[in-house]
Amino acid sequence: MKVEQIAIFLENKSGRMAEITATLAQNGINIRAMSLADTADFGILRLIVNDTDKARKVLKDSGFTVGTTQVLVAEVSDKPGGLAHVLQIIKEGNLNIEYMYAFTQKSGGTGLIIFRFDELDRAIELLAKEHIRLLSGDEVYAI
């Protein structure tokens, strides 16, 4: 149920994203999902890739500061209210979302929401109890 995500800390300067994506491409690593957050001084690029261990190694070897975190990937209906339903369950369970981002596989099917919770195991229990499908790492890496 838990999915490993890479977090790359990068200074806000031109070309850094190009360097990261080129490094991954040269090593045959495919990005499955990504999110970029920034401040005035630095950014945090969060990636889910098809080979986390290899990505972490090649990025570190290229001089990037890389960490990993565990997230949950929930499948939701790709229709109005799909996300609202899941967020209501989270609200009623008094869970705190540290951050989230999303992507869809094809319109009208399902969307995938990547969640980082402060209580990951409790989130798994709550969402599973409410019949929210959580994808395994292997499922996400293979998309």
Phi then psi for residue 3, to 5 deg, are -120, 135
Per-residue model confidence as pLDDT tens digits over 17-73: 899 999 999 999 999 999 998 877 788 999 999 999 999 999 999 999 999 999 999
Q: Are 140 and 48 in contact (CB under 8 A)?
A: yes
pLDDT score for 63: 92
pTM of the model: 0.88
CATH of domain 2-70: 3.30.2130.10
Query: What is the Cα–Cα distance from 54 to 56, expressed in whole angstroms?
Result: 5
Q: Domain boundaries in the chain?
A: 2-70, 72-133
State the architecture of 72-133 in CATH terms: 2-Layer Sandwich (3.30)
Whether 72-133 and 2-70 are alike in CATH topology: the answer is: yes
Q: Is 16 exposed, middle or buried (0-12, 13-18, 19+ CB in 10 A)?
A: middle
